[in-house]
């Protein structure tokens, strides 16, 4: 596809949840799948924005005439999410994270930030609007030596989760409503599908480098704005998978080429077969008006520092002895800081072994034992025992399993003294007369249950066999 000849240009809108409590209250950012404690029903209508006009997209949603059911929990929701109480002052931690990203993306930051209301009447916000704050503009990032403009960096509250829908109603869960989220809006500087993909990768890397982003399914969402010569902009919502992003873009470009007549700017939802369907008209400025319940905030830029990028951290980890595959895996993980702390504190343990434990061993726990969420404190305790020689690296998986099951006792794993190990191995040889080294080694490791390293056991066993025992 000749993108240049077609006059192709594209921009990205990337939404990333922050790892902090709700943006305008103190409720935790926790998603729930159990039965909700409370259900309420509401209808919403579009209202005029700051200039007295009703937004076309909001009015389109209102015409559907649906009512909304909201599900909430007593311990993760409050009256703010139910729109029964005014919002709290803005979450300072989330604002600081946003300002850090603004600096990393070379954005200009306003002297004062004004919380705005953005009209949304599809039911995803109980109030009929989303609170949003412009914290950066006119920035840029570098993608393959090319500057890509960052038009806006916005801090806003995430919407409620849609859990059910029929002809008359939509059901939303309020656990997600209010989770702080950054929206990165680029300039339409991308001229090929590959440039769109590479830009999305760089933005994702920049955001993860802060170590302050939520992870998992649904925590990051990205939309692509596309147009070709003589065609209006179309926003493609939900283009998540970078591996097939080019297919969605190609399909949309072909659709625009084949479309007869002039289309108005609009939003489309993508489908699994890479096609899309009309969702609503593209919203405009009429949907915005000031939030009167929250005073303007003067951003405190003191102490806001540009963090080390994952790419830079990867190079530094490689110098510690981590391989080309392991270094980026650790650098981009949520335990990168823990890795550095452990390496600095426990000099007797090789950085490569620490890295492998925090990646491969934890993955093995999840895959083979269905154990997730091993705490940093447990990991620190394991490496402390390892550094002190109370346990050895061969049994670290067993130790972590016992810790997760609350069955850990250090006495069970403390290493045998040389004399005791000698007696145990003599007993194994006596019980398995004539057996080859491999068989004896297996029997010895099973009997010792991790109380001595494989290296130590093998060395002593060979010595005993050579002496004719």
Same domain, 245 and 336: no
Tell whether 73 is covered by a domain. yes
Structure tokens of 107? 């954005």
Question: What pLDDT is recorded for position 416?
Answer: 62
User: Would strands 169-173 and 161-165 be described as parallel, antiparallel, or unpaired?
Assistant: antiparallel
**Residue 171 to residue 449: CA distance in whole angstroms:** 53
Tell whether 34 is covered by a domain. yes
Tell whether 423 is covered by a domain. yes
Question: What pLDDT is recorded for position 418?
Answer: 65
Question: What pLDDT is recorded for position 51?
Answer: 76
Please report, in tens digits, the pLDDT of each residue of the chain (469 residues total).
Answer: 899 999 999 999 999 999 999 999 999 999 999 999 999 999 888 878 777 888 888 788 888 888 999 999 999 999 999 999 999 999 999 999 999 999 999 999 999 999 999 988 889 999 999 999 999 999 999 999 999 999 999 999 999 999 999 999 999 999 999 999 999 999 999 999 999 999 999 999 999 999 999 998 889 999 999 999 999 999 999 999 999 999 999 999 999 999 988 899 999 999 999 999 999 998 877 788 899 999 999 998 888 999 999 999 999 999 999 999 999 999 999 999 999 999 999 999 999 999 999 999 999 999 998 998 899 999 999 999 889 888 777 778 888 988 888 888 887 766 666 677 788 888 888 899 888 898 888 888 888 776 777 777 888 888 888 877 6
Question: What pLDDT is recorded for position 450?
Answer: 67
| SS3 label, residue 28 | coil
**Residue 219 to residue 232: CA distance in whole angstroms:** 30
Tell whether 77 is covered by a domain. yes
Alpha helices in 162-244 (DSSP H): 193-209
Same domain, 320 and 458: no
Same domain, 149 and 214: yes
Same domain, 188 and 107: yes
Same domain, 220 and 335: no
Same domain, 426 and 330: no
Q: Which domain holds residue 457?
A: 418-466
- In eight-state DSSP terms, residue 237 is E
- In eight-state DSSP terms, residue 113 is B
Partners of 9 in the β-ladder: 227
Partners of 134 in the β-ladder: 154
Which among 342, 12, 400 has a CA at the least distance from the CA of 200? Answer: 12
Out of 373, 389, 413, a domain closes at: 413
Tell whether 295 is covered by a domain. no
Question: What pLDDT is recorded for position 1?
Answer: 87
Same domain, 279 and 335: no
**CB neighbour list of residue 35: distance below 8 Å, 6 or more residues apart:** none
Q: DSSP characters for 49-66?
A: -TTS---HHHHHHHTT--
Same domain, 329 and 197: no
- In eight-state DSSP terms, residue 416 is P
Question: What pLDDT is recorded for position 390?
Answer: 80
Q: What is the value of pTM for the model shown?
A: 0.83
Tell whether 28 is covered by a domain. yes
Same domain, 50 and 91: yes
Structure tokens of 446? 């099973």
Same domain, 215 and 352: no
Contact of 201 with 299, CB cutoff 8 Å: no
Same domain, 386 and 424: no
- CA distances to 181, 232, 441 from 90, rounded to whole Å, are 13, 36, 62
Tell whether 296 is covered by a domain. no
Distinct helix (H) and strand (E) counts, the chain = 16, 14
Question: What pLDDT is recorded for position 56?
Answer: 84
Give me the number of domains the chain comprises. 3
Contact of 219 with 207, CB cutoff 8 Å: no
Same domain, 273 and 182: yes
Tell whether 108 is covered by a domain. yes
Question: What pLDDT is recorded for position 161?
Answer: 95
**CB neighbour list of residue 380: distance below 8 Å, 6 or more residues apart:** 338, 341, 342
**Residue 165 to residue 158: CA distance in whole angstroms:** 20
């Amino acid at each position: 596809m000749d993108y240049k000849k077609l006059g192709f240009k594209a921009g990205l809108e990337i939404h990333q949840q922050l790892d902090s409590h709700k943006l305008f209250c103190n409720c935790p950012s926790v998603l729930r799948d159990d039965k909700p404690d409370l259900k309420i029903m509401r209808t919403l209508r579009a209202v005029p924005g700051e200039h007295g006009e009703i937004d076309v997209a909001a009015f389109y949603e209102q015409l559907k005439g649906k009512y909304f059911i909201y599900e909430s929990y007593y311990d993760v929701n409050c009256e703010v999410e139910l729109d029964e109480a005014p919002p709290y002052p803005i979450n300072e931690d989330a604002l600081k994270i946003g300002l850090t990203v603004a600096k990393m993306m070379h954005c200009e930051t306003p002297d004062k930030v004004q919380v705005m209301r953005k009209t949304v009447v599809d039911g995803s916000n109980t109030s009929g609007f989303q609170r949003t704050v412009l914290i950066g503009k006119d920035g840029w990032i570098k993608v393959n030596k090319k500057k890509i403009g960052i038009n806006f960096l916005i801090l806003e509250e995430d919407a409620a989760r849609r859990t059910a829908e029929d002809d008359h109603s939509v059901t939303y869960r309020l656990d997600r409503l209010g989770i702080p989220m950054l929206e990165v809006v680029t300039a339409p500087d991308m001229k090929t599908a590959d440039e769109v993909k590479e830009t999305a990768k760089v933005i994702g890397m920049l955001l993860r480098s802060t170590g302050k982003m939520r992870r998992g399914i649904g925590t990051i969402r990205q939309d692509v704005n596309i147009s070709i010569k003589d065609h209006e902009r179309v926003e493609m919502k939900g283009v998540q998978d970078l591996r097939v992003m080019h297919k969605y873009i190609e399909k949309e470009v072909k659709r625009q080429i084949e479309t007869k007549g002039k289309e108005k700017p609009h939003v489309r939802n993508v489908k699994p077969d890479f096609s899309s369907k009309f969702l609503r008209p593209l919203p405009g400025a009429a949907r915005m008006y000031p939030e009167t319940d929250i005073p303007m905030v003067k951003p405190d830029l003191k102490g806001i520092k540009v963090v080390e990028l994952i790419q830079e951290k990867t190079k530094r980890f490689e110098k510690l002895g981590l391989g080309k595959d392991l270094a980026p895996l650790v650098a981009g993980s949520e335990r990168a800081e823990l890795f550095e702390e452990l390496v600095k504190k426990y000099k007797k343990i090789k950085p490569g072994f620490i890295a492998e434990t925090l990646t491969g061993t934890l993955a093995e726990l999840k895959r083979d034992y269905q154990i997730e969420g091993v705490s940093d404190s447990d990991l620190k305790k394991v490496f402390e025992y390892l550094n002190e020689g109370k346990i050895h690296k061969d049994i670290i998986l067993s130790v972590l399993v016992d810790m997760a099951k609350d069955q850990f006792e250090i006495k069970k794993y403390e290493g045998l003294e040389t004399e005791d190990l000698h007696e145990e191995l003599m007993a194994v040889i006596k019980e398995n007369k004539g057996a080859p080294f491999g068989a004896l080694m297996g029997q010895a490791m099973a009997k010792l249950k991790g109380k001595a390293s494989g290296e130590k056991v093998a060395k002593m066993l060979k010595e005993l066999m050579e002496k004719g025992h």
